[in-house]
Amino acid sequence: LAEMVADHREDEACTLDGISVSLQINAGMNVEHDQQRLGHYEGIGLYRTEIPFMMRERFPTEKEQYDLYRPVLESTGSLPVVMRTLDVGGDKPLPYFPIHEENPFLGWRGIRMTLDHPEIFLVQVRAMLRANIGLDNLQILLPMITTLDEVDESIRLINQAYFEVRNELLQNQPGAVVNRPKIGVMIEVPALLYQLEAVAKKVDFFSVGTNDLTQYLLAVDRNNSRVAGLYDSFHPALLHALQFIVKRCRELNKPVSICGEMAGDPGGALLLVAMGYRSLSMSTHNLDKTRWILRHLDSEIMQTLLSKVMQCTHPDQVRRIVRLKLEALG
Ligand code: PEP
Ligand code: MG
């Protein structure tokens, strides 16, 4: 089976009836350079910048961050790299920046913390923009967005960093070009579902974080073993939310991808593509498997499956239907 799965790894992920799905990788530390081993993929769909931050003893300087980001942007050739601004707090503490809260997952996380510390945000964005000079494959992703004000303020700061970096470069190299990267927002706080139109007017793309969207939609701590049985990405409520998002983004003509773990789960990927998602970002070890599954699907199989699944009232029913389909595929 492993050999069958490895077959066609150089081809793009495409269903039997020709629907192509862009697969990307999630990364956070040293990016894999071994493209031969990974086969075909279309960039880094999520680079979690907090991971290198967590492995240090103090905030990295702008130069240190430049040295982290530049090789990542270089590693993919011209393929896009979606770098997420610092997403600490919740379950991702920085040893040198302790945050003590009763409810860390509902607290000072992600964009909430960095907008309260614009100096941290600006240094990070400046490092990203400088690392992107001459490469132009950077895209910036904002985590934990809940309000439109957060979007506006983030864009204002990104623009400020952009003009600073551009003016500095122009002083040394008149005529040099610094492009402004695309900006995207994570859909992981349920409130965003009802603000898609307003946010879409301000940003270039969306990326759905199913890990946190599951946690917040179901009100289940993603790391608490006592309630782990309730944390379920096949919960009908989550599936309806995901279907709503992809439909709405299509109406709004805004690219949307998935970067949570669900994208790399065989059943999850199957359902997401059936719903209409055409861009999935996942851990590298799930790439081969996902590509193989997609190559054995067609629209009819997916539509039949989806209409059955969307009528389910229990996660276990969904799981059973998906498992039978995966077994039938081999
Ligand atoms: C998510 O929430 O699904 C996500 C991709 O981000 P993280 O797991 O880093 O919170
Ligand atoms: Mg998240």
pLDDT at 6: 66
| Ligand 1, CB cutoff 6 Å, lining residues | 46, 48, 87, 188, 209-212, 259-260
Burial class (CB in 10 A: 0-12, 13-18, 19+), 288: buried
CA distance 286 to 296: 16
For ligand 2, the distance from its centroid to the CA atom of residue 271, given in whole angstroms, is 20
Size (the chain), residues: 330
**Separation of CA 212 and ligand 1 centre (Å):** 6
Q: Which of 72, 19, 8 is nearest to 45 (CA)?
A: 72
- ipTM for the complex shown: 0.99
| Among protein residues, the one whose CA lies closest to atom 1 of ligand 1 | 209
Structure confidence at residue 176 (pLDDT): 86
Q: In this predicted structure, what is the pLDDT of residue 36?
A: 67
Residue 207's contacts (CB-CB under 8 Å, 6 or more residues apart) are: 45, 46, 82, 141, 184, 185, 186, 187, 256, 257, 258, 259, 281
Q: Which residues pair with 206 in a beta bridge?
A: 185, 256
In this prediction, residue 5 carries a pLDDT of 67
Ligand 1, atom 3: nearest CA belongs to which residue? 209
Measured from the Cα of 261, ligand 1's closest atom is 3
The pLDDT score that the predictor gives to residue 198 is: 98
Q: What is the pTM of this model?
A: 0.96
Q: Going residue by residue through the chain (330 aa), what tens digit of pLDDT does each one get?
A: 666 666 677 888 999 999 999 999 999 876 665 666 788 899 999 999 999 999 999 999 999 999 999 999 999 989 999 999 999 998 898 999 999 999 999 999 999 999 999 999 999 999 999 999 999 999 999 999 999 999 999 999 999 999 999 999 999 998 888 889 999 999 999 999 999 999 999 999 999 999 999 999 999 998 999 999 999 999 999 999 999 999 999 999 999 999 999 999 999 999 999 999 999 999 999 999 999 999 999 999 999 999 999 999 999 999 999 999 999 988
What pLDDT is recorded for position 4? 66
Residue listed under structure tokens 């939310």: 241
- Full DSSP string of 104-154: GGGSS-HHHHHHH-HHHHHHHHHHHHHHTTTT--EEEEE-S--SHHHHHHH
Q: What is the largest CA-CA distance in the chain?
A: 63
- Going by alpha carbons, the residue nearest to atom 8 of ligand 1 is 211
105: which 2 tokens? Answer: 């997952």
- Each as own residue / partner, the long-range contacts of residues 215-221 (CB below 8 Å, 24 or more positions apart, any chain) are 215/105, 216/188, 216/189, 216/190, 217/190, 217/241, 221/105
User: What is the structure's pLDDT at 32?
Assistant: 62
Q: Ligand 1, from 212, 238, 261, 281: best to mutate by most atoms within 8 Å of Cβ?
A: 212
Task: For ligand 1, pick from 87, 144, 277 the residue to mutate: most ligand atoms within 8 Å of CB.
Answer: 87
Question: Burial of 78 by CB count in 10 Å (0-12 exposed, 13-18 middle, 19+ buried)?
Answer: exposed
